[in-house]
């Protein structure tokens, strides 16, 4: 599982040591996720790794589809979904984070009275997605330029939903781009929506709830509805890697 290997992402080769996922402070991360519905992982990737991943955006042959957000009312800017086989670092990120998140996902589902439970390994969960007709890979690279933004949304692609996902900022705020903040909104029952802006730096990752999370109330847990998006990029170029664990119809 925890393999340290030399990987080739396109023509750029870099060492993505999956051990760093195992070494993350998982107790603290789970606590942040329980309390706030998101957890920040500072400096998950270094500058060179971010540059190598962002450069994949130009390699059209690595992707199954390209979405121009304005055409669909999703915002402005574009993204591309990777094809299978995923580039090794993307595949490794997806497979190595999943086992740490599955127990939390199961606990959240129990608290929210949702019937689905998640297997320990990502290949097993992917088999379930594929059996449900969700065959298409969802990891994606996003690219934003001046005036681009990403409307608040939920990345749901079928009945099979893994309740947590990861986004990694690949560009440096204040250097590569201005504006373009990662935003989360939370809708509690019978209350107005609450927004949170996450101060991500290049290489930082955020783990966050895809659509719902449990919140402790006086009479047990209740479900809170979440969305995420990106505020307007004021200048420059911003890239993100998104890792979603379920596949798409």
* Contact positions vs ligand AKG (CB under 6 A): 142, 150, 155, 167, 182, 228, 230, 240, 242
Which residue's CB is nearer to ligand AKG, number 4 or number 249?
249
- What residues form DSSP beta bridges with 204? none
For the chain, the residue count is: 249
CB of 208 to Fe ion, least distance (A): 9
Among 49, 92, 155, 247, binds Fe ion (CB under 5 A): 155
Q: Which is nearer to ligand AKG, 11 or 58 (CB)?
A: 58
Residue number, 101 or 167, with CB nearest to ligand AKG: 167
Residues 57/77, Cβ–Cβ less than 8 Å: no
- Residue with Cβ nearer ligand AKG (137 or 242): 242
* Least gap, CB of 155 to Fe ion (angstroms): 4
Taking residue 102's Cβ as centre, other Cβ atoms within 10 Å add up to 21
Closer to Fe ion by Cβ: residue 224 or 244: 244
| Cβ atoms 40, 25 nearer than 8 A | no
Least Å distance, CB 42 to ligand AKG, is 16
Contacts 24+ apart (CB under 8 A), 28-32: 29/100, 29/207, 30/104
Answer with the entry of Fe ion, ligand AKG, none that 167 interacts with (C-beta below 5 to 8 A by kind): ligand AKG
Nearest-CB residue to ligand AKG? 242
Evaluated on CA atoms 112, 207, 35, 210, the torsion sign reads negative
Residue 55 three-state SS: helix
Q: Tell me how far, at minimum, the Cβ of 228 lies from Fe ion, in Å.
A: 6
Residue ranges in contact with Fe ion by CB under 5 A = 155
């Amino acid at each position: 599982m925890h393999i340290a290997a030399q990987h080739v992402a396109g023509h750029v080769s870099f060492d993505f040591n999956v051990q760093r996922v195992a070494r993350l402070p998982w107790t603290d991360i789970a606590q942040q996720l329980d309390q706030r519905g998101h957890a920040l992982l500072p400096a998950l990737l270094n500058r060179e790794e971010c540059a190598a991943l962002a450069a994949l955006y130009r390699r059209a042959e690595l992707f199954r589809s390209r979405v121009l957000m304005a055409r669909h009312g999703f915002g402005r800017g574009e993204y591309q979904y990777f094809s299978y086989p995923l580039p090794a670092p993307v595949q490794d990120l997806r497979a190595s984070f999943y086992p740490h998140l599955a127990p939390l996902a199961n606990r959240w589902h129990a608290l929210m009275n949702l019937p689905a439970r998640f297997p320990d390994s990502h290949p097993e969960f992917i088999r379930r997605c594929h059996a449900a007709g969700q065959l298409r890979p969802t990891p994606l690279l996003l690219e934003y330029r001046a005036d681009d933004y990403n409307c608040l949304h939920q990345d749901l692609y079928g009945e099979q939903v893994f309740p947590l996902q990861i986004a990694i900022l690949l560009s440096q705020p204040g250097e590569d781009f201005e504006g373009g903040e990662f935003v989360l909104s939370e809708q509690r029952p019978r209350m107005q929506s609450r927004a949170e802006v996450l101060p991500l730096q290049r290489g930082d990752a955020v783990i966050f709830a895809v659509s719902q999370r449990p919140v402790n109330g006086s009479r047990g847990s209740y479900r809170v509805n979440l969305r995420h998006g990106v505020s307007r990029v004021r200048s420059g170029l911003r890239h993100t890697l998104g890792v979603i664990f379920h596949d798409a119809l």
